[in-house]
């Protein structure tokens, strides 16, 4: 690296020279973190108490993180009794602290996939991590011990002999160097490279026993070119490629150099050092990106950075009093929602998605990406999110009356929603959907319109929530073919049967929602309840028999008079237009809103709805309606069908 000194700036040049030394030290420390996952093994016992287990696990990972940054291994215990979490992580001896942190960061995002089981272990090519509800720190063997062999290339007898010698040498090297050993054996054209590492929690005799077991295990992979022994207390690998980091720098050396430089350079000069270090980090990230390729996490981080939506995990944790049970608003299949109060006094609702994994990360990214791009009075407002901690967090405005289902399906709370309020909820929800389908810069299909995803503010005004399943829609396409996702009872027949998604799927769901608002009955209620037909089927029968008032929520019947009953009946007919079997006959949401707002405009007669047996997910022919087509859906074709209901899902 060349430098040019300007007269009078000798101090700056000296600082830059020191900075170059820092960068060189960092470059030497930065090798390959080898963060490829080799094996993940989960326990067989379910966690004892989710509300205690999750915070304990998170706390254990945070404690270990602090240790990994300074010493390359970490050990922590959090909690008491059945919910105690014991954790351990260690990087292999040839990794620098920088690479160690990168490897551990990968491990801590993968291991939580074992949830809801209370134990798990993960072996990466550069580090190891384990968590359980008992003290395992001194264990060196177990029934999970195994060899993982790479069988791409069969090697010669000479290689096999070299491998045995190299493994034996690595064991001796590890025993004499505190548990970390390595060896190279053979000729330049036929060499073997071996790494051996004991966990630092083992004593010398346990380490020796573990390495002996690992050596016997890994050699069973011969004659193949690659072998790994995944032991309870140690790790061993041989390969015909040199996978070891070439510079065995001290794990503390680069940090010490940085401390020295910072301590002797003035505050003005530190800026120059910081710029150069920033350039190094940028360079390193570019290299890592090329190694791993782009992914959803990188896209999400960029989105957060560009939109200033990012919250620190610690900020949200403090706002919710460490996600205390007292602040819990609800729970469902995607996680839990908590009330929180920020330092500036703002009330928030935090949607906590348990643990990061590829599928949930995609939903998280999708929700952030879509809801941050829209703005409407009838859509819930996203304040921010956090993806830097062990869980994904979405931060919404807090709506004190929570979700609509708490009112319309509760006879007592339902009294707070007379017809005029329910009508306003219907209008507001329709306006929100018109915006998503026709007014926003991109057409958005929500895919999960239901009462639990309609939130109410202090004045009982509606806001559509939960965009995790939403999809943007290109104008030049008639439909999207996609995996089925949503909630049974609210999904349109063509989408349920064939995965063909258009905005008419939201129209159908809206129609079901309107019928629930008017009747006070939940459409996906169990068949063991007092009524068995779907609310759509029941309404269709009463419509034909001109007995719609029999279906009205008792709270509406008590409040209604003749004019109100006629208005409610008209809205029921609009809902039936929305739930017609043929999607082509359903009106667009803008037309639905027009019909709702113009009580004098004539309504067309609705055709029959689909007749769905939710127990078999089959749309049946009917004696009364012979024109109905028959669909059948295999249960294996349905993805992400949800019965969850909380604030918001």
Residues that constitute the known binding site: 351
Give the span between the Cα atoms of 619 and 625, in whole angstroms: 12
Q: What is the CA radius of gyration of the chain?
A: 31
Q: Are strands 631-632 and 328-332 parallel, antiparallel or unpaired?
A: unpaired
> How far apart are the C-alpha atoms of 491 and 508, rounded to whole Å?
7
Residue stretches of the annotated binding site for ATP: 351
Distance between CA atoms of 485 and 469, rounded to whole angstroms?
Answer: 7
Q: Reduced to 3 states, what is the DSSP secondary structure of residue 405?
A: helix
Q: How many C-alpha atoms does 595 have within 13 Å on its Cβ side?
A: 23
Cis peptide before 251 (omega within 30 of 0): no
Question: Do residues 488 and 556 touch, judged by C-beta distance below 8 A?
Answer: no
Eight-class DSSP state of 180: E
Q: Is 448 a catalytic residue?
A: yes
Helices (H), 185-248: 204-218
Dig out the tokens for 587 from the structure.
């009106």
* Spatial separation of the C-alpha atoms in residues 109 and 61, rounded to whole Å: 10
HSE toward the beta carbon, residue 388, CA cutoff 13 A: 17
CB atoms within 10 A of CB 269: 19
Could you tell me if 646 and 452 are in contact, meaning their C-beta atoms sit under 8 angstroms apart? yes
Parallel/antiparallel/unpaired status of strands 234-239 and 328-332: unpaired
Q: Comparing C-alpha atoms, which of 216, 215, 198 is closest to residue 207?
A: 198
The answer to whether the CB of 45 falls within 8 A of the CB of 131 is no
For the record, the structure tokens of 64 come out as: 């270990």
Q: Of the residues 32, 240, 363, 448, which is catalytic?
A: 448
Spatial strand order in the sheet of 612-613: 612-613, 618-619, 631-632
Enumerate the active-site residues. 448
């Amino acid at each position: 690296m060349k430098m040019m000194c300007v007269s009078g700036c000798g101090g700056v040049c000296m600082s830059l020279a020191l900075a170059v030394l820092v960068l060189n030290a960092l470059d030497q420390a930065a090798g390959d973190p080898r963060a490829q996952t080799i094996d993940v093994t989960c326990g067989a016992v379910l966690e004892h108490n989710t509300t205690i287990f999750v915070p304990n696990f998170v706390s254990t990972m945070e404690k270990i993180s602090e240790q990994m940054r300074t010493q390359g291994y970490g050990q922590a215990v959090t909690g008491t009794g059945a919910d105690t979490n014991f954790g351990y992580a260690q990087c292999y001896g040839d990794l620098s602290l920088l690479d160690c942190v990168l490897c551990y960061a990968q491990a801590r995002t993968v291991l939580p996939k074992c949830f809801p089981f209370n134990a798990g272990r993960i072996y990466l090519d550069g580090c190891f991590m384990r968590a359980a509800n008992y003290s395992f720190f001194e264990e060196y063997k177990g029934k999970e011990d195994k060899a993982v062999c790479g069988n791409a290339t069969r090697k010669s007898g000479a290689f096999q002999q070299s491998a045995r010698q190299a493994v034996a040498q690595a064991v001796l090297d590890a025993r004499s160097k505190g548990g970390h050993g390595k060896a190279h054996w053979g000729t330049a054209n036929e060499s073997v490279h071996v790494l051996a590492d004991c966990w630092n929690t083992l004593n010398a005799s346990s380490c020796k026993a573990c390495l002996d077991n690992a050596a016997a295990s890994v050699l069973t992979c011969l004659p193949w070119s690659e072998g790994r022994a995944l032991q309870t207390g140690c790790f061993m690998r041989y390969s015909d490629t040199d996978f070891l980091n070439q510079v065995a720098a001290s794990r503390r050396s680069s940090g010490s150099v940085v401390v020295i430089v910072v301590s002797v350079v003035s505050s003005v000069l530190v800026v120059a050092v910081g710029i150069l270090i920033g350039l190094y980090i940028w360079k390193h990230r570019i290299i890592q990106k090329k190694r791993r390729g782009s992914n959803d996490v990188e896209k999400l981080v960029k989105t957060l950075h560009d939109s200033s939506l990012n919250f620190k995990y610690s900020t949200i944790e403090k706002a919710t009093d460490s996600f205390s049970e007292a602040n819990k608003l609800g729970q469902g299949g995607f996680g839990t929602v908590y009330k929180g109060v920020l330092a500036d006094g703002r009330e928030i609702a935090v949607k906590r998605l348990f643990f990061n994994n590829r599928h949930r990360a995609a939903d998280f990214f999708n929700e952030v990406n879509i809801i941050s791009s829209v703005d409407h009075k009838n859509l819930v407002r996203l304040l921010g999110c956090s993806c830097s901690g062990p869980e994904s967090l979405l931060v919404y405005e807090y709506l004190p009356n929570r979700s609509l289902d708490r009112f319309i399906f509760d006879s007592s709370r339902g009294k707070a929603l007379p017809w005029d309020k329910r009508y306003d909820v219907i209008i507001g929800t329709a306006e929100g959907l018109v915006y998503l389908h026709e007014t926003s810069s991109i057409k958005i299909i929500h895919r999960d319109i239901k009462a639990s995803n309609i939130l109410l503010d202090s004045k009982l005004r509606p806001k559509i929530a939960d965009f995790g399943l939403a999809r943007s829609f290109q104008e030049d396409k008639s439909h999207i073919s996609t995996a089925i996702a949503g909630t049974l009872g609210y999904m349109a027949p063509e989408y349920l049967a064939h995965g063909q998604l258009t905005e008419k799927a939201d129209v159908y769901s809206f129609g079901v929602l309107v019928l629930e608002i008017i009747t006070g009955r939940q459409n996906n209620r169990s068949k063991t309840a007092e009524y068995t037909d779907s609310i759509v089927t029941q309404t269709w029968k009463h419509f034909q028999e001109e007995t719609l008032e029999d279906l009205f929520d008792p709270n509406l019947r008590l409040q209604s008079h003749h004019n109100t009953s006629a208005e409610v009946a008209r809205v029921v007919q609009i809902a039936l237009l929305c739930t017609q079997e043929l999607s082509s006959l359903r009106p667009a949401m803008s037309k639905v809103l027009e019909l709702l707002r113009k009580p004098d405009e004539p309504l067309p007669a609705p055709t029959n709805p689909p007749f769905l047996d939710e127990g078999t997910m089959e749309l049946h022919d009917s004696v009364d309606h012979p024109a109905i087509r028959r669909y059948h859906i295999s249960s294996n074709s349905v993805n992400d069908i949800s019965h969850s209901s909380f604030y918001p899902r």
